[in-house]
Amino acid sequence: MSTKVPAIRSQALERGVDLERFPAHVGVIMDGNGRWATGRGLQRLLGHREGYRTLRRVLLAASELGVRYLTVYAFSAENWRRPEDEVRGLLSLIEQAARDELRIMHQNNVRVQVAGRTDELPEGLRAALEHGIKTTAKNTGITFTLAINYGGRAEIVDAIQGIVREGIPASEITEELLSQRMYNPETPDPDLIVRTAGEMRWSNFLIWQAAYAELFVTEKPWPDFGGDDLIEAVLSYQVRTRKFGGV
């Protein structure tokens, strides 16, 4: 598959996107892989495989458009409840993708990081992720965060437990302090959350950080999502007035 990114900035300008008001951080709930596959008479895992091909295209398109941070929901803490064969296959696929896509991400100046309880992941997968983080640590382009074995509530629990272990008194606990104890505190809160496959749920994704994020939902399953859909999401974002509780 070609890794060449199309002239998506020109496409965005033609459709009226203001490249000076682009969301700095976009989060994506990549939903619908399994349904995409079963609708075509394929095994669900093939849908996830196609979904990771889509992820490469969207990541490079987002980088070309000027997104500074892209966080994707790859495997939730609740996904362990799925059939064992599917979980094993999905984690193996993520490990393979982490290894196979590293060269392309490094060539495109992508910085890789993860979010989640990675200590609970299989050893081979942890090693692949750690290698990607180390290899791309000095890259200065888009920061790509893979949320894996991730849950928003679990992240908040982990943050609070860390504060308790440090012996910080209750009177000193603030929103700012809690934000600093999240998995990647240097990453700004998301401006825009994109969800595919038409589901109108937050699904425990970045629930602390996304308190004021704009939400864009498309009926398309994730494997059918592309650069033009990302442009549509940004256009939707740019016509909204973000008040953050104000008037």
As assigned by CATH, the class of the 24-238 domain is alpha beta
Measuring CA to CA, which residue among 116, 122, 119, 132 is closest to residue 74? 116
As a whole number of Å, the end-to-end CA separation of the chain is 48
Q: How confident is the model at residue 111 (pLDDT cuts 50, 70, 90)?
A: very high
Q: What digits encode the pLDDT tens for the residues 175-211?
A: 999 999 999 999 999 999 999 999 999 999 999 999 9
Select which of 18, 33, 79, 109 is catalytic.
79
Which tokens belong to 179? Answer: 């934000």
Distance separating alpha carbons of residues 30 and 52, to the nearest angstrom: 10
pLDDT for 168: 97
Question: Please, are residues 189 and 173 in contact by the beta-carbon 8 Å criterion?
Answer: no
What is the dihedral sign for C-alpha 4, 134, 223, 60? negative
DSSP secondary structure letter of residue 151 = -
pLDDT for 245: 60
DSSP secondary structure letter of residue 21 = G
Helices (H) and strands (E) in the chain, counts: 9, 6
pLDDT for 2: 46
Average pLDDT (137-157) is: 98
Residue 79 designated active-site: yes
Average pLDDT (40-48) is: 94
Residue 31 designated active-site: yes
Using the predicted structure, report yes or no on whether residue 60 has a pLDDT greater than 70: yes
pLDDT for 104: 95
| CB contact burial 106-122 (16+ within 10 A = b; e otherwise) | eebebbbbbbbebeebe
Average pLDDT (120-144) is: 98
Distance separating alpha carbons of residues 169 and 99, to the nearest angstrom: 43
Measuring CA to CA, which residue among 142, 143, 136, 180 is closest to residue 158? 180
Q: How confident is the model at residue 7 (pLDDT cuts 50, 70, 90)?
A: confident
Using the predicted structure, report yes or no on whether residue 6 has a pLDDT greater than 70: no
101 Cβ neighbours under 8 A, 6+ residues apart:
52, 56
Measuring CA to CA, which residue among 1, 69, 35 is closest to residue 223? 35
Using the predicted structure, report yes or no on whether residue 112 has a pLDDT greater than 60: yes
What's the residue count for the chain?
A: 247
Using the predicted structure, report yes or no on whether residue 138 has a pLDDT greater than 50: yes
Select which of 31, 33, 108, 149 is catalytic.
31
Burial of 16 from C-beta contacts in 10 A (0-12 / 13-18 / 19+): exposed
